[in-house]
Structure 1
Amino acid sequence: MMEWYETWRVDYENHKLRHDENIGNVDIYELRGENITCEICYPIRDTPEVFKKFWKILQKFEYTIKDYNAETIRALLNLLSIDGEERNNYTKGRTRDALDVMVESIRYLKQPVLREKGLKIIIIVIVRDCIENDKEDETMDRLIGNEELIRYGYILEDWDVNIRFREFYEWYKEAITDFVECKDSTTRRYKNILYEEAELKEDESTEKIEEFKRKIRLMLHTMHIKVREHGWGISKEIVEKVYDKIRGFEQLNMDETDSDDTPRSYTITETDDGEEENLPINKNEEMSDEESDESNESNNVEETETTKIFEEIIRMDLKRMGYDVEITEIERIRKFGVTAKIITTYEFMKRYLTIWNLEDEELDEQILQWRVENTKECERCETERLKKEFEIGKEICMECKEDVEKENPTDDEEEMEEDIKGPKLAQVKNQKVKRKIKN
C-alpha cells in the first residue's frame, strides 16, 4: 500500500477548501506551493505527446490514478533529461526529487494498489524501456501480471538490484573481509533478501527474524571460497552485522567501539561424524518441551491446516523410505529452512540421524554446513537440489536441462522432423535415443 496516501489525501482536501474559502478575496496563486497536487495552482497549459504516451502506459499498471497537473508533466520532462545511469539510482539526487514530485502531484481515485516505491520504479521502467527504447509491448508482457509486483506491490529490476548489491558488496569488503567473490546466485539471493526485509515488521516474531538471518548466512556462503571448499561456518557476529546493515540498523551503532568484536574472520566448524543414532520414533515424551514452544504463527486457520497437511505428506514420504518420523521432528527440521525436497532424500536423512540430538544452535550450524557441501540452487528453477542432480560444472539441474532441450530443439532435429513423416520419423527418433544411450 502507498504508505503516505491518507496524509496526502487530507492535505489535498484541506488545500482545496482554502481555495473555496478565499474565492474573490485572495489571488489563487498566493496558495501555490502549499500542495503540488492542486490542479488550480498548477494548471495544464500544454500536454506534450511524450507525456500522453507515458500516462497511457502508467494507467495500465495503477488503475487508481485519476489525473495530473503541470507539475506532473514538468517532473516527467526532468526525468527524461537525466542521464540513464544516474536515473537508475532512483533513491538519490535529481531522480529522487523528480519522482517525489511526480508521485505526489498525481491525483488518485482511492488508495493505490502499488506501494510508493513500486510506483516510482514503474515510472523509471516506463521512461527507460517504453519511451526511450521503444519496447512497450515487451515491457508490458514482462510486467503485467508479474508475481513479484502483485505480491509485494513493487518490483526489483535487475539494474536496481545490481546497484544496491554493489553498494553492499563494497561495504562488506571494507567492514568484514576483502576475501570475497560474487556469483550470480549471490545477487539472486540478495534480491530475495531485499524483498523479505521489506516485509519484516518492527515487532516481527523471533522465528521470522531467525529464518531471515539463516537466508543471509546462506547468501554469505556463496561469497566465500574457503567456506564452500572446507565447510567453514560463517560466525554469528558476521550474520548479525550484515543483518543490521541490510535492515539499516548499523548507523545506530557507529558511536560504539567494536574493534575487538568486528568479525574479520571465519569460525571453523568441526564436523563430527559419529555413529548413527535412532530418531525419537513414535515417542512424544522423548521430544523436548522446546519443540512445542512455537513462536507467533498466523492465526489463519486455513494456513495452519495447509501446513499440517504438507508436513503429513512429508512424513508419509519418509515412511515409504523407511523412516518413521514424528510430525514434531519434521517441524523442527523445517524450522532450520530445509525444504521438503531435501528432507525427503536419503542423503539428508542419513546425516540428520547422526546429529538430531544436538542443541538447536549447533544443529542449525551442522545442517547449514551439510547443505553448503551437498546442495546447490538451480539457476533456472531456483530450487535447492542435491549436487548429484547437476552435471559437473553446470548451474542448472538435469531436469531443467531436459526441459530446455525440449523447448529449444537443435536446428538439425527440427529439419529432420519436418522432412521425415510416419514410421520413418519414429525410426529416426529411436536411432537418436540409441545414440544417446551409447554415448
Structure 2
Amino acid sequence: MEWYHQWESEYKTHKEEHELRTEELDECLSCELCYLIVNEPIVFKKFWDALFKFEDAIIIYNDVTIKGVLSLLSMDNSEREDTIHKGRCRDIMDRITESIRYRIQPKIKEKGLRAIILVIVRDCIERNLENEVFDRLIGNPELLEHKYILEDWDVKRRFEKFWQWYRVALEEIRAVKVKVEAIGKFKELLYEEEKIAESEEKVKELMQEITHENVEIDNVHEHHKNMVQKIIRVFIDTRGFTKEPEDSESEESPASYELENSSEEELEIIIGDKSWKFSELKRRTSSINEDQLKYIWKIGIKLMIEMDVLVTKTFIDKVQEIKEMDEEVGKRNSNM
C-alpha cells in the first residue's frame, strides 16, 4: 500500500498531540481514541475476519471502519459499482482503508484493498459465498503479481468506454466487431498501467482482435502506427478509463472539469492539459447547427478528443455515422 508510510507518520504525530493534550487535534481517521467503538455488529466481525485472510497486516479498526462497512452494506450493488472509482463508494472505501491500522506495510495495493473490500461486502456477506470467494482469490495469480485484481464487470465497463472512444478516434476506418479475445487483451493492458507506454506490441494485439472496415485508405500503415500511440495516450490520460488517481504518492488526483464562464457561449472545460472552448468550436464549424455542435462538443470532452480533430469533416461525419448506427441498433433491440 503506497500511502502506508504517510499514514503511519501522521498517526504517530497525532498520538503525540494526544499525549501533549493539544486542544485542536488534526484529523486522523486511524486514531482509536478519537473514534472509539460504540457498537460492533456481528456482520462487521465477519467482514474483518474475511479481510484478514487476504491482508494479514491489518491489526486495529475503529468506529470509522465499522461505520464505513455498514455504509457500504446499505448501498445497492449497482450504486457501489457505479461509484467505485469516483463518488460515494470510493469515498467510503478511502475512509475505511485509512481508518485501519497496519502492523507493517500491506502487500496489497490500496486499490487492491478497495477491490477486496467490495468483494467481501458483496459476495461474502450479502451473497454468503465465502468459500467460493476464498477459492477464487486466495493465491490468485493476478492478485499475487499485480497486488490488486480487476473484476470482470469492471473490465467490461471500462472496455465499453474504450470502444466508444476507439470508434471515433479511428476517423476514416470503421471498427465494426469485437472478437472474443479482445476483452482479455484489454485487461492485460489495464494491468500495464503507465508501463503501457512500453507495450506497443500488446496494443497491436488488442487492435488485431477488432474487425475493421474501410482499411483501404492512403497511408494506412501510418494511420495504424498513430492509433497505437493514441491508445497508449488515452490509457494513461484516463487512468485505464477510470480517471482514478494513481497509487503513487507523487501523483495528484486528475483535475476535475473547471467551469470558466457561466455563459454557454464562453464555456470552457479544462481536463489536465487539454481544453475545450465552445465558442472556438462554434467559430471553426460554422456550417453545423447548434444542437449538433453541442453533441460534438460533449463527445470531444467525454472522449478527450483534441479541438483540432473535433473540427475536421472526417470527425464530424464519423460521429454522425456512429450516432446513426447506434440508433439503428437501438431500434432493432426494441423490436426484438
Q: TM-score range by the shorter chain?
A: 0.5 to 0.7
**2:63 corresponds to 1:70:** yes
Give the stretch that moved more between structures: 69-78 or 248-257: 248-257
Report the counterpart of residue 136 of structure 1 in structure 2. Answer: 130
Q: Alpha carbons of 1:49 and 1:235: their partners in 2 closer, same or farther (altered >3 Å)?
A: same
Equivalent residue in structure 1 for 2:145, among 151, 176, 179? 151
RMSD after superposition = 2.8
Q: Alpha carbons of 1:86 and 1:170: their partners in 2 closer, same or farther (altered >3 Å)?
A: farther
Equivalent residue in structure 2 for 1:194, among 186, 190, 195? 190
**2:247 corresponds to 1:258:** no
SS of the aligned residue for 2:213 comes to helix
- The alpha-carbon deviation at position 58 of structure 1 amounts to 0.1
Report the counterpart of residue 109 of structure 2 in structure 1. Answer: 115
**Residues matched between the structures, number:** 248
Report the counterpart of residue 18 of structure 2 in structure 1. Answer: 19
1:292-322 Cα offsets, whole Å, 9 max, x none, are: xxxxxxxxxxxxxxxxxxxxxxxxxxxxxxx
Q: Alpha carbons of 1:51 and 1:263: their partners in 2 closer, same or farther (altered >3 Å)?
A: farther
CA distance in 2 between partners of 1:188 and 1:264 (Å): 31
CA distance in 2 between partners of 1:34 and 1:55 (Å): 24
Q: Alpha carbons of 1:148 and 1:228: their partners in 2 closer, same or farther (altered >3 Å)?
A: farther
CA distance in 1 between partners of 2:116 and 2:56 (Å): 13
CA distance in 2 between partners of 1:263 and 1:79 (Å): 47
**2:39 corresponds to 1:46:** yes
Bigger CA radius of gyration: 1
CA distance in 2 between partners of 1:260 and 1:190 (Å): 26
CA distance in 2 between partners of 1:163 and 1:72 (Å): 28
Equivalent residue in structure 2 for 1:239, among 228, 231, 234? 228
- The alpha-carbon deviation at position 98 of structure 1 amounts to 0.4
CA distance in 2 between partners of 1:103 and 1:14 (Å): 19
Q: Is the 8 A contact 2:146 2:191 kept in 1?
A: yes
Q: Alpha carbons of 1:137 and 1:87: their partners in 2 closer, same or farther (altered >3 Å)?
A: same
Letter of the 1:105 partner, please give it.
S
Report the counterpart of residue 219 of structure 1 in structure 2. Answer: 206
SS of the aligned residue for 1:242 comes to helix
- The alpha-carbon deviation at position 166 of structure 1 amounts to 1.4
TM-score by length of 1: 0.52
Q: Alpha carbons of 1:263 and 1:131: their partners in 2 closer, same or farther (altered >3 Å)?
A: farther
Report the counterpart of residue 83 of structure 1 in structure 2. Answer: 76
- The alpha-carbon deviation at position 209 of structure 1 amounts to 3.5
Q: 1 or 2 for the larger relative contact order (CA 8 Å, sep ≥6)?
A: 2
Structure with more strand by fraction: 2
CA distance in 1 between partners of 2:61 and 2:207 (Å): 45
Q: Is the 8 A contact 2:197 2:232 kept in 1?
A: no
- The alpha-carbon deviation at position 213 of structure 1 amounts to 1.7
Q: Is the 8 A contact 2:175 2:213 kept in 1?
A: no
Q: Alpha carbons of 1:63 and 1:225: their partners in 2 closer, same or farther (altered >3 Å)?
A: same
- The alpha-carbon deviation at position 254 of structure 1 amounts to 4.6
1:274-305 Cα offsets, whole Å, 9 max, x none, are: xxxxxxxxxxxxxxxxxxxxxxxxxxxxxxxx
Q: Alpha carbons of 1:161 and 1:87: their partners in 2 closer, same or farther (altered >3 Å)?
A: same
- The alpha-carbon deviation at position 176 of structure 1 amounts to 3.1
CA distance in 1 between partners of 2:52 and 2:139 (Å): 14
Structure 2 unaligned blocks of 5 or more: 239-270, 277-305, 316-336
- The alpha-carbon deviation at position 224 of structure 1 amounts to 2.4
**2:119 corresponds to 1:125:** yes
1:162-194 Cα offsets, whole Å, 9 max, x none, are: 121112222223333563322331111000011
Q: Alpha carbons of 1:85 and 1:129: their partners in 2 closer, same or farther (altered >3 Å)?
A: same
**2:237 corresponds to 1:248:** yes
Q: Alpha carbons of 1:56 and 1:228: their partners in 2 closer, same or farther (altered >3 Å)?
A: farther
CA distance in 2 between partners of 1:103 and 1:214 (Å): 36
CA distance in 1 between partners of 2:98 and 2:57 (Å): 14
CA distance in 2 between partners of 1:141 and 1:36 (Å): 32
Q: Is the 8 A contact 1:176 1:263 kept in 2?
A: no
- The alpha-carbon deviation at position 253 of structure 1 amounts to 4.5
Equivalent residue in structure 2 for 1:97, among 91, 116, 128? 91
CA distance in 2 between partners of 1:172 and 1:218 (Å): 15
Report the counterpart of residue 293 of structure 2 in structure 1. Answer: none
CA distance in 2 between partners of 1:184 and 1:196 (Å): 20
SS of the aligned residue for 1:181 comes to strand
CA distance in 1 between partners of 2:55 and 2:215 (Å): 44
The share of aligned pairs that are identical, in percent, is 43
Q: Is the 8 A contact 2:180 2:209 kept in 1?
A: no
CA distance in 2 between partners of 1:262 and 1:96 (Å): 38
Report the counterpart of residue 329 of structure 2 in structure 1. Answer: none
Q: Alpha carbons of 1:16 and 1:148: their partners in 2 closer, same or farther (altered >3 Å)?
A: same
Report the counterpart of residue 368 of structure 1 in structure 2. Answer: none
